[in-house]
Amino acid sequence: MDLPISPGLLISLIIVIIGILIISKGLVIVRQSEVMVIERLGSFHRVLESGI
């Protein structure tokens, strides 16, 4: 039974897809009129404002 995709390629594709999902979940767009409170382990860490 030959697979059309090699196991190494399949594992690489899965890792890339997981990486893209992690990056997309980590990016947050803060609108100009909003601020976002960042908490780490349930305690205040910092405030994100709009801009770079």
Evaluate whether residue 21 is within a structural domain: yes
> How many helices and strands (H and E) does the chain possess?
1, 2
Evaluate whether residue 2 is within a structural domain: no
Residues 37 and 49: beta-carbon distance below 8 Å: no
Evaluate whether residue 26 is within a structural domain: yes
Give the model confidence (pLDDT) of 3-48 as tens digits: 688 889 999 999 999 999 999 988 888 888 899 999 999 999 999 8
Evaluate whether residue 1 is within a structural domain: no
2 pLDDT more than 70: no
| Domain count along the chain | 1
Whole-model pTM? 0.57
Residue that the structure tokens 């990486």 belong to: 19
Residues 50 and 30: beta-carbon distance below 8 Å: yes
For residue 23, give its domain range.
Answer: 7-48
The DSSP 8-state label assigned to residue 41 in this structure reads T
Evaluate whether residue 31 is within a structural domain: yes
